[in-house]
Amino acid sequence: MKKYLAPILIIITAILVYFIFIKGEDPKTKKQAAQGIERFPYPTDRLAESQADYIMADIQVGRIDLAIELVKLRRDCAGETDEAGCNERIKQLINRLPGKDKQKLLDIFDQYLQFEAKTRQNLPENFASLSQVEKYQLMKKARRDFFGEDTARLIFGLEEARIALQEEQVKFNSPEYTRLPVEERMRLYAERKKEILGPYYQTTLEREPADMKYGTELQLHQTEMAKMSEAERNKATQELRVKYFGEQMANRMAEDEARHNKAFAEGNAKMDQFLAAEREYLNKNQNLTEEQRRAGIEDIRKRILGK
């Protein structure tokens, strides 16, 4: 589903940029670079708040997203200490955790710091010009070359499973799937979701936000909705909203959408009116100077568009 695949790749690229490039910059810049991490893509437990005897078990099933959690912890240090001090603070945090996995986690964090240093030194010269997808594939390979498959999966497996799931959603727009009844598409998608997410499946079901579930099912219904009348399409959309958000929120969403559509239509109408008035003014005033034409058009714009 392209509208979700792109945001995920943007976040992943932001994480990579944060780790590799944002060092010693202004604290405000650092915090801006990490915006959105708390919400996206799914909520996970904070490592600092863990009370688990076996933290690795929580990481392995996706209750803690280790890659994103490291970004959160680094962001928490922004403006308070330098990179080395921040890393030391994270090590101290890990040492204070309960349970039996602290040393394993410290070893992984030390490896990650080595990975960062090596990656910064070995980025290709054209890295900045690569697409987000190309950067992601490059970093995915670098992870396995450095950590090996098992450790790379432990740190980045949840992130990579989500990316793979979004890529799979895109395939459901192809004729191979769109010619199938929607119930069959939903069944096949549920099977692929379980297969792709693997050990993260149950945690994802429990924590996946309602808006993402709604967006996925709405996408899988697009083939049928495209054949409906506007009234039928609105009814089907409202039924999905009620399913995922409840009747009260669904009604509020419908009202907000109606206001947005009305404002959008009014804005388009005003723009059409302005463009027509502009053409008429230019046709009737061909002998004006360029400065006079600009002033006249500006007066028309303010009168019609109000800005």
Q: Are residues 147 and 260 in the same domain?
A: no
pLDDT higher than 60, residue 38: yes
What is the domain count for the chain?
Answer: 2
- pLDDT tens digits, one per residue of 45-70: 999 898 888 999 999 999 999 999 99
Q: Are residues 256 and 122 in the same domain?
A: no
Q: Are residues 140 and 259 in the same domain?
A: no
> In which domain, by residue range, is 288 found?
246-305
- Given 126, 143, 160, the domain boundary residue is 160
Whether 236 is covered by a domain: the verdict is no
pLDDT higher than 50, residue 5: no
Whether 14 is covered by a domain: the verdict is yes
Whether 50 is covered by a domain: the verdict is yes
Whether 183 is covered by a domain: the verdict is no
Q: Are residues 296 and 156 in the same domain?
A: no
Whether 17 is covered by a domain: the verdict is yes
Whether 293 is covered by a domain: the verdict is yes
Q: Are residues 250 and 146 in the same domain?
A: no
Give the pLDDT confidence score for residue 306 in this predicted structure.
Answer: 84
pLDDT higher than 80, residue 12: no
- pLDDT tens digits, one per residue of 211-230: 989 999 998 998 899 999 99
Q: Are residues 28 and 122 in the same domain?
A: yes
The CA angle 290-294-298, to the nearest 5 degrees, is 170
Give the pLDDT confidence score for residue 60 in this predicted structure.
Answer: 95
User: Which residue, among 263, 41, 47, has the nearest Cα to 161 in the 3D structure?
Assistant: 41
pLDDT interval class at 104 (50, 70, 90): very high
Give the pLDDT confidence score for residue 135 in this predicted structure.
Answer: 92
Whether 191 is covered by a domain: the verdict is no
The Cα 46–Cα 63 span in angstroms is 9
Mean pLDDT over 86-111 rounds to 93
Of residues 9 and 179, more confidence is placed in 179
Q: Are residues 8 and 148 in the same domain?
A: yes
Q: Are residues 156 and 26 in the same domain?
A: yes
- Given 160, 195, 218, the domain boundary residue is 160
pLDDT interval class at 1 (50, 70, 90): very low
Tokens for 67? 């890659």
- pLDDT tens digits, one per residue of 126-177: 988 999 989 999 999 999 999 999 999 999 999 999 999 989 988 888 888 9
Q: Are residues 155 and 256 in the same domain?
A: no
Q: Are residues 154 and 288 in the same domain?
A: no
Whether 97 is covered by a domain: the verdict is yes
Q: Are residues 19 and 155 in the same domain?
A: yes
Measured distance between the N- and C-terminal CA atoms of the chain, rounded to whole angstroms: 37
Q: What's this model's pTM, rounded to 2 decimal places?
A: 0.76
- Given 107, 138, 160, the domain boundary residue is 160
Check residue 148 and give left, alpha or beta (phi > 0: left; psi -120 to 50: alpha). Answer: left
Q: Are residues 118 and 266 in the same domain?
A: no
Distance of CA 169 to the CA centre of its chain: 15
pLDDT higher than 60, residue 9: no
Tokens for 127? 């890295």
Q: What percent of the chain has pLDDT over 70?
A: 86
